[in-house]
Structure formats: C-alpha cells, structure tokens
Structure 1
Amino acid sequence: MSVIETDEQKQLRAAVAGLAKRYNYVDYVLPKARKGEPLTELWREAAQLGFLGVNLPEEYGGGGAGIYELALVQEELAAQGCGLLLVVVSPAICGTIIAKFGTDEQKQRWLPALADGSKIMAFGITEPDAGSNSHEITTVARRDGEDWILRGSKIYISGVDQADAVLIVARTEDAKSGKLRPALFIVPTDADNFVKTPMEMDIVEPDRQFTLFLDDVRLPADALVGEPDAALMQLFAGLNPERILGAAMAVGMGRYALDAAVRYANERTVWKSPIGAHQGIAHPLAQCKIELELAKLMMQKAAVLYDSGDDFGAAEAANMAKYAAAEASIKSLDQAIQTHGGGGLTREYGLAAMLGAARIARVAPVSREMILNFVSQHSLGLPRSY
C-alpha cells in the first residue's frame, strides 16, 4: 500500500485547486450560503471537467479511478472553502452502490448522469427515532403486485431540493422468517406522496437539510437496487466512501483555516515583528499542521484500502480518519479565529461562519461517540456496550 501520489493524481490535485480558487469561500461560497443558495455554478463546472465522476466506471462516463481520487477532489475543493457536500452523497455513496450492485438498467440510467453532474441523487438513512441505530429503521417497503409501497420518514437528508432522486434505506419483510431486513430503493423526488420539508438549521451552509415523509409512495419493481439479500453489503459499500469523503472535506476545511491563519500571522505586525514570530501564535498553528497531516494520512490509507477491496480494513481506517479529521479541522478553525483576534469574528474573513459547518463533522455522517464504540469493539476487542 502506498500513499505516494502518482503524477496523474498530482495533476488532478493541481487542476481541482485551480478551479477551486475561482470559487473561493469569501467571494463565492459565503454569499451563496447566506442566501441559502446551492453552489450550482461550481457543481456544473466541476462536472464538465470530469471531477464529479472521477470514481465511476469509464463505460458509464466516469473517470475509472477510485474513491482515493474522489477524496482528492473533495479535499482540494474544501481547501479553498468550497467543498461540495453532495459529492459525498451523489457520486460517493449512491454512485458507488449502483456501480457495484445496481442492475444493468439502473447503471445505464443513473451512472452517466451522476458522472456528468446532470442528475443528483441524495441519500436517506437517518430517521427521527432510530438515530445511529440503523437496526431500528421503521421505513418499510411492502409488495403490492409487482410494485413496492414505501411508508416512513427520514430526517437530516441533505440537498433534496437539488436532487432528482433519493436512495432510501428501507426494510422489507423476509417471506421465510417474517423478519425485516434492509433494502435500498431509488425514489424520484417528484413521486406521488413523497413530501420534503426544509429544516430550520442554525448554521451558514449552501446545502439545505430536509425531513422526508413517504406516505405510501408507489414504486416500480426496478426501484429496488440489486438483490434484497445483498442490501446490508450494499449499504456498507456506500458508508465507507461516505466516511472517507467526509474526512477529506474536513481535512480540506482545516487546511483552509490554517492557510488563512498563517497568512495573517505573517502579515500582522505588532511590536515591530509579525505575530507569527511569537511562539504563542506559532506553536498552536504548528500543532494544527501536524494533526491535519496525520488525519490526511489516515484518510488516504482508508481510501487505498477501500479501492483495493479490503472492506474491513477500510471500515476501521475510514472511521478513524473521519474522527481524526473532524477534530483536526475544528481545532484548526478555532485556532485561526484566535490568531485573527477580533478580526476572526468579522464578516471580512468569514471564519466564524465556517465554524458551524466544521462542527458538523463531529456529528455526521456518524458521531464521534459511535466511532469510539466501533474502535473499542472492533479494533481493541472490548465488550460491546450497546
């Protein structure tokens, strides 16, 4: 396993960074976010350049690379403050699941459109009462002739207003045992009895969150992704990329904050020397740099393991990467604000507005406590606590 990047990967980083600089946080993202508008122009141009579908199969219009390359794209976008939340969802989760488990018709219908960004697919797993316990999901799919009927609700579903469909995690009844088991369904956002309600969030973000209500939504037989028996495997095939891409976004945001702090610390002069010459400023920033690099290495390890087919190794590394990246990102942003002093709380720099967005990484797509549970149980072999 190597995380020494190839010339192609380095060129991809440079190309994404060049695009991201034109859609930077202060001039583009923050004004959009304050108005609750999605980053449509950035999404379209990133798609046209092939960045959004870099991980999807070439035969369906993708780049034929892996999650490593998609994480690289996300990191470089976020390093300019313009990370795309729906990259985590549409190509990383949904695109991966359909590419691995979808029928030929589902692949033909969705993958080219996900790759070129002309269609977006959101992902719906979280429910009001289930929380992190996916075994308690109550959204149920039942047969009605050849059709499926979905009933249930979802919460904290990102970007539904931009999406053409939502990949919904539901449960179907096993005819032999009568027990419910997970299954994934592609639900068009314009389906009858599919209701999306915006949630009032108290953070400055361009992508909105929604509560979904599925009140007997009727779907054709081919809405079911792959085989019902493979649903759990399908779900984990999407969740590991989700954690890796979430870590990449957090690392990128941390880089953005650290760059802003270093720039200010070099420019701001007090008592005839730049404030960055003082250890009280320099050492905390150096510590942030170290912790960001360590988180990035774990994220790269997780991506390499995933792309090599080591699902268990990828799950462990992806969880660790997501934890480490969240902590490093928040710390870097907080230290950047401190370095700027009162300026760190002004609109001019936009750092305070970013703090809420960075804080999401401790909660979603999986909380830091659930990651610690995973590491305790699977990495350390301690007894299960729940």
Structure 2
Amino acid sequence: MPIDFDLSPEQRTLKKTAREFAHEVLRPAAERADTLADAQEAFRAMKPVYAQAAALGFTSMFLPREYGGGGASNVDFLIAIEELCAVDPGFPTILLVNGLALMPLLRYGTEEQREIWLRRAAADTTGDFLAGWVVSERGGTANFDHPSPQAGIQLVADRRPGGEYVINGEKHWPCNAGGWDLQGADVNLCVVRTDRAGGGKEALSAVLVERGTPGIRYEVIDKLAHRTCQNVTMTFRNVRVPEENLLARGDGDLLINHDFTWSAPIASIAAVAVARGAYEFALKWARTFTGAGSGPIIQHQAVGHLLTDVAARIEAGRYLSWKAAHYMDRHPGQGHALGGMDKTFCGEAMQRVVVDCMRIVGVNALDRKFPMEKYYRESMVFPLYDAGNLAMQRRRAWGAMADPAFSPDVFVDDLPLPFTKAMEGFGTVSEVDRP
C-alpha cells in the first residue's frame, strides 16, 4: 500500500457531517449539561443528542454490515470521533463504550449472542439502546492478569446446578452501565472471575447481563470532567444469569487486551481533538489579542514558537492514531504494542498542548466564559481512563515488545503480530515470588 494521508470523498463527507453535527447539535447540549450539578441529569440531558447520533448511524457505524452496522473502518470511526470530541469528549465516550461492550462478541461470542445484541444495537435509530463495558473495580484493573487468585478481577461468577451463574462483588467506573434511567443498560458485558483458585490468565471470563436482571444496584459517580457520559459503581448481590450468557471462558484476559487495543486509537484521537480545540482557540486569541501592546501577541517570538510546537504535537498525535487504526484495519485483533504507544503518547502530549495553549491565552484562560477551563478539565481524563497510561497501556506494549516475535520494523513494514498469553503478566508480582 502506498503511504497516503489523503481522505477519500466518502471520508471527507463523513468529516463534514460529523463536524456539522458536533457544532449544531452537540455543542449547545453539552455546554448546558456540563453545568448541571447532578451527574445523572447531565448524562440524561444528552439523550436527545444520542438519538440524533443514532439516526445518523454514529452509534453503530463500527459494527459489521452483516449484523446491520455501518461497516466503517477503524480509520473512518476516528475521523468522526475527532470532530465530535473537539466539541465535547464526554458524549463520544458513550459511543466508544458501546463498541467496547459489543466488539468482543465478534471474537468471543456465539453466533446467537451476536445475532441478538449486534442486531439490536444496529437497529436502534431512536437512541434508546445502550451497552455497558464493565471491567474496572475499586482495587484497580491494571493487574487483571496477575498470577495470584487474590489479585486482579474479584467480581466472582459461580456456576450453579441448573445451568446458571451467580455473580457477587462490585465494579467501579463502568460507563453506560446504569442506563438512561439507572435501571441498567440494555446489556452489560461484565468481566468476571469464574475460577476462584486460578490466576488471571486462566480464571477470567465474560458474561452478558441483561437490563432488568435483579440484584444489581447502580450509584452514579460525580466526575470532574466527561460529565456528558455516565460512570457508576455497580454492586452485585446474588445476580443470576443463564449459562448461555457466558463467553470467553478462561480467556477474559485476552478479551480485555483485545478490547483496549481496539479502543486505544479512539481514545488517542479524542485527546488530539481536545488539544485541537484548545489550539484553535489559542491561535484565534493570539491573532487578535494585543496584551495592551501595539499588535497581536502572535507577532511575539515566544508566542509564535509555542504555537508552532503545539501544532506539531497535534499533527504527530493525529497521524500516529491514524497509523494505529490503519494497522488494526489491516490486522484485525492485533496492534497491542502500537495501540499502547499511541494511547500513552497522545494522552500525555495533548495534556501539555492544552497547558501551553493556556499559557498563550494567559490569565483569561481561567475565565469560565472562555472554553479553556473545560479543555483543561477534559484533558486530565486521557492518561487515566481506557486502561490508564501509567499501568495497563504501557504494560501491554511492554509485553508485546518483550516477545521474540517482535521486531522494531513490525509496524513500519506492516507485519502481523498476534497477541498471546505469553505477552501478559509483565509487571505483576506473584506472592510466591516475593522474598
């Protein structure tokens, strides 16, 4: 394939449609929702916007056409997500989490599970359907593949006679999971421990928990940023689900790794988008604000140099994200190291971009009538969510790079690199290994 950064006519149309939606529909609703004191009300305020996004196909564009989805490539999804996130990164997180909950069905689900849930998601044009990705726990998720059964995922699903699993425990931070009315998403994909004695590489599975299943309590988390999406604490007390809702038995670790690889360039382009929004405001400010001088501050060398660095980091982040997405289009289910690099680079570089843009705007960046305060709050999210940069994302890349199959040329030469259980567990310490 030639190295080509041109957008196709279809991609340009997608970008235009997404940008118009972001500015005309998303912006006014997100600005209002961000000011609401009640976190659940802020989320619910976005439902009319979500309905319009569903009508445009944004909520299921990543699903295969064979199940009624849009069949969009990873690169296509990034193009749309950047436009939405440049206005508000919280709302597109709802779309991202739909994907995190549903995409594992393509690799690990049964055909019956795919037919039920993928088709139901793709058929929604009214904005009612939500899917939740339920992994994180209060103790953290980074060591989900720890060899000790006392570490990692502790939401337990015990098999009972009669063909059902009984789930007990707690999840902290799952997105979408409470649903629009705190009665649950239409379906929650929950990573659980199905073997109380095994380590993370053999004890984890996933289970589909349907809306209305008794025994679950949802408590909304009040967040600093991304207020237009929902995060909750879920408490499970003797929650019963049929055994046909189980998937990826003993391979929940791989399911987590594959899912966070798929989402990595999406979270990365979201960071790029927030930085882009800050940059666009700072550039306009520098071209017009004089600081009581004789001309716009962009004429000062310090401002010009800083804007140049800001623009370069945004361009670099965007193209690294496109590269990661393109690699995953070429090699489905792969790209773990590249995805981890992309997520960590963009999340952290874009924070610096936002801070530099605030330096250009000066003390006025603190004035809430300008958008810089919101960009700053939103930028704090990216190194922390979607498999935090300090732990899981870097560990996943580390494990792939330590494998003999890895070569420094693997991505530039577009070579396949399947992810295996042998690449997991780096950075974890077993109790038996402690002195």
Fold agreement, TM-score > 0.5 = yes
Deviations 1:183-232 (A, max 9, x none): 1111124211111112233446222321111111001122213x525544
The farther-off stretch of 80-89 and 69-78 is 80-89
The counterpart of 1:357, out of the listed 372, 375, 378, is 378
Alignment of 1:308-319 (within 5 A): 308-309=330-331, 311-312=333-334, 314-319=335-340
Matched, 1:142 2:158: yes
Deviation at 1:100, TM superposition (A): 3.1
Residues of 2 paired with 1:349 and 1:55: CA distance?
34
The farther-off stretch of 300-309 and 327-336 is 327-336
Matched, 1:348 2:348: no
Identity of aligned residues (%): 21
Aligned length: 382
DSSP 3-state at the match of 1:143: strand
Contact 2:53 2:59 in 1 (8 A): yes
Matched, 1:327 2:348: yes
208 and 354 in structure 1: CA distance in 2 versus 1, 3 angstrom threshold: farther
Residues of 2 paired with 1:385 and 1:108: CA distance?
38
TM-score if structure 2 supplies the norm length? 0.81
Contact 1:316 1:375 in 2 (8 A): yes
The counterpart of 2:358, out of the listed 320, 334, 337, is 337
Letter aligned with residue 14 of structure 1: K
Matched, 1:126 2:155: no
| Greater helix proportion | 1
Aligned-residue CA RMSD (Å): 2.7
Matched, 1:294 2:296: no
Residues of 2 paired with 1:296 and 1:169: CA distance?
31
Residues of 1 paired with 2:104 and 2:26: CA distance?
31
Contact 1:30 1:350 in 2 (8 A): no
Residues of 2 paired with 1:211 and 1:180: CA distance?
26
Matched, 1:71 2:87: no
Letter aligned with residue 341 of structure 1: G
TM-score if structure 1 supplies the norm length? 0.90
Contact 1:96 1:237 in 2 (8 A): no
Deviation at 1:350, TM superposition (A): 2.8
Contact 1:330 1:358 in 2 (8 A): yes
186 and 77 in structure 1: CA distance in 2 versus 1, 3 angstrom threshold: same
Residues of 2 paired with 1:221 and 1:274: CA distance?
67
Residues of 2 paired with 1:3 and 1:142: CA distance?
51
Residues of 2 paired with 1:221 and 1:380: CA distance?
37
Tell me the equivalent position of 2:295: 273
Residues of 1 paired with 2:73 and 2:154: CA distance?
33
Deviation at 1:295, TM superposition (A): 1.3
Letter aligned with residue 239 of structure 2: V
111 and 378 in structure 1: CA distance in 2 versus 1, 3 angstrom threshold: closer
The farther-off stretch of 149-158 and 364-373 is 364-373
DSSP 3-state at the match of 1:160: coil
Deviation at 1:258, TM superposition (A): 0.7
Contact 1:205 1:357 in 2 (8 A): no
Tell me the equivalent position of 2:93: 85
Matched, 1:190 2:207: no
Alignment of 1:139-218 (within 5 A): 139-144=155-160, 145-162=162-179, 163-173=185-195, 181-203=203-225, 205-218=227-240
308 and 107 in structure 1: CA distance in 2 versus 1, 3 angstrom threshold: same
Deviation at 1:374, TM superposition (A): 4.1
Matched, 1:103 2:110: yes
Residues of 2 paired with 1:322 and 1:204: CA distance?
18
Tell me the equivalent position of 1:32: 33
Residues of 2 paired with 1:176 and 1:236: CA distance?
18
DSSP 3-state at the match of 2:218: strand
